[in-house]
Amino acid sequence: MTTIIAVAGLSEEEFRRAIERKLRHGQAAEAAAQLRDLIEPYAGPAGILPARFLTVTANDLTLTGWDALGLAVARHDEPYRRITALSIAFGWEGEDVPQPDAEGRLRPYLETSYFTDDAFPFSQSARADLLEGYSYHGCSWTGDCEASDNALGLDGIDDLRGALALLEARLLASAAPDEDQIRAGSLGACLLSVLLFQAVDARIARDGLPRRLCVMAGSSGVYPYFDAPVVGIPEDTSKDSGVVDAGVPPPRYSSLLMAGVPRGRKRAVLVLDESADEAANRIARLRGLPCDDPVPEPIAPAEPIAPVAGVDLPVPPPSESGIIPIPGGPLLAKKPHAQHWDFRDMLSPRDNAPREPDARETDFRDNAVPALEPVTPAPRPLPEPGFPLLESSLQARLEALVATPTPVEPIAPVPDVPTTRRVAPPAEPDAPHRLGLWSRLRNLLKWRR
């Protein structure tokens, strides 16, 4: 059996939505005042809720671990995917129902969730822009957090959290829960969520954030399921520059608001053969920390080589992988197998008849390849005497020269020119006469004449 209660003339769900709407539109003080007025009949020494629900304010809540929030955010940063938003909300620790201690006190479990621009364009959103990500059923980044932990804690309302936990236990154990108790518990839980929202807002205004971040507050998966933006990126940085932090390129996102916008590709962050100082500076730039060296500007891609007019570069055929290499580029086309040298290439021209495969061309990895059968070439007529194997023009010229002999002029005798560079020793009278090459040629010419 489901019990439906009314609060301030609205159903319980509609009332919660109305309070959450006031938080989203910056009316947290009005929401807290309205809740106190509605709690007053149920709070007191003998009431359902402790009387402190009527006097507690956001100043009584203390957020612990705020000084280490910057390190907690940096732990979840990734190269070029930095954390750009936080959610600080009441959460549920474990699966068991939390039990108050002997004094009826229960320390609230505060859950901190970390988001990047993959979930929503937080780095480009002021507080008013964050409202576009909310709807009646929730927000567009629900469930898209990169990580969550309990880096922050909350002090100052342990007694109030314990009182709500004991009231909830009584309602769950009752077969017919009382409507006033349900209504009082709902109002008390809504008030504590509003106070957490105010406490986060006041802490950011007083101590600031470790860097520019969007912050939401409320309840993560626990009653009353509030989620409202506290602060966004300042207008002067989110709209004009579009840069989240130094050293990080402007993010390109894909969300429910900007459908179809491709996400930016990841850039290479590893540098080979870098020194220890270079590695430290690179890691510091990725984490947004100050470093010694400035961030280098990206190198522009090389311009394509324009084709030379009048020169046709051969396009190599595609390789086995389907890649067409650029002429002169790093990819080389697969070269054909070199043809083996054959001594018959030195003979006279012959028909392009197939020849028997050489043993070196046999593929020993596949014995099933059949050998080529020898083909007998067609018989050719024997050449006639003369110059039938030469070209027609050369053959005609040679025949003309043979038919008309040219008179040969007699060769004049070559005079003996004395030399002064080298003098041959006189030959012995009994030694055999030896003729050199040039002497033999001269004697041969004289004998022919």
> What is the tens place of the pLDDT at every residue in 92-106?
877 777 889 999 999
Among 68-82, 92-106, 243-257, the minimum mean pLDDT is found in 243-257
State the pLDDT confidence band at 312, using cuts at 50, 70 and 90. low
Pairing of strands 10-11, 6-7: antiparallel
Count CA within 13 A, CB hemisphere, residue 130.
29
> How large is the greatest C-alpha to C-alpha distance in the chain, in angstroms?
159
pLDDT of residue 240: 45
Cα distance between residue 106 and residue 70, in whole Å: 27
State the pLDDT confidence band at 261, using cuts at 50, 70 and 90. very low
Sign of the Cα pseudo-torsion (69, 75, 79, 82, in order): negative
pLDDT at residue 343 greater than cutoff 60:
no
Structure confidence by residue, pLDDT tens digits, 222-237: 999 999 999 999 876 5
Q: Is 79 exposed, middle or buried (0-12, 13-18, 19+ CB in 10 A)?
A: middle
What's the rounded mean pLDDT across residues 370-377?
Answer: 58
Cα distance between residue 282 and residue 293, in whole Å: 9
pLDDT of residue 221: 87
State the pLDDT confidence band at 287, using cuts at 50, 70 and 90. low
pLDDT of residue 27: 96
- Which carries the bigger pLDDT value, residue 41 or residue 398? 41
Max mean pLDDT range (228-237, 240-249, 338-347, 357-366): 228-237
CA R_g for the chain: 49
197 contact partners, CB below 8 Å, separation of at least 6: 23, 28, 217, 218, 226, 228, 230
What's the rounded mean pLDDT across residues 349-354?
Answer: 51
pLDDT at residue 409 greater than cutoff 50:
yes
Q: In which region does residue 440 sit, left (phi positive, over 0), alpha (psi from -120 to 50) or beta (all else)?
A: alpha
pLDDT of residue 247: 38
What's the rounded mean pLDDT across residues 302-319?
Answer: 53
Max mean pLDDT range (21-35, 262-276, 371-385, 421-435): 21-35
pLDDT at residue 193 greater than cutoff 90:
yes
Among 161-165, 248-252, 336-340, 410-414, the minimum mean pLDDT is found in 248-252
pLDDT at residue 239 greater than cutoff 60:
no
Structure confidence by residue, pLDDT tens digits, 118-129: 999 999 999 999
pLDDT of residue 151: 94
State the pLDDT confidence band at 334, using cuts at 50, 70 and 90. very low
| DSSP code string of 321-384 | TS--PPTTSSPPPPPPPPPPP-GGGGSS-------PPPGGG--TT-TTSPPPPP-PPPP-PPPP
Cα distance between residue 274 and residue 92, in whole Å: 46
411 contact partners, CB below 8 Å, separation of at least 6: 445, 449
State the pLDDT confidence band at 328, using cuts at 50, 70 and 90. very low
Average pLDDT of every residue of the chain:
74
Cα distance between residue 76 and residue 243, in whole Å: 19
Long-range contacts of 36-45 (CB under 8 A, 24+ apart): 36/191, 38/7, 38/8, 38/187, 39/184, 39/187, 39/188, 39/191, 42/180, 42/183, 42/184, 42/187, 43/184
Q: What percent of the chain has pLDDT over 90?
A: 43
Determine contact, residues 253/122, Cβ cutoff 8 Å. no
Q: Which two tokens stand for residue 47?
A: 């009431």
pLDDT of residue 95: 75
pLDDT at residue 295 greater than cutoff 70:
no
Q: Which residue has the tokens 């990047």?
A: 116
Max mean pLDDT range (191-195, 365-369, 387-391, 440-444): 191-195
Cα distance between residue 48 and residue 416, in whole Å: 146
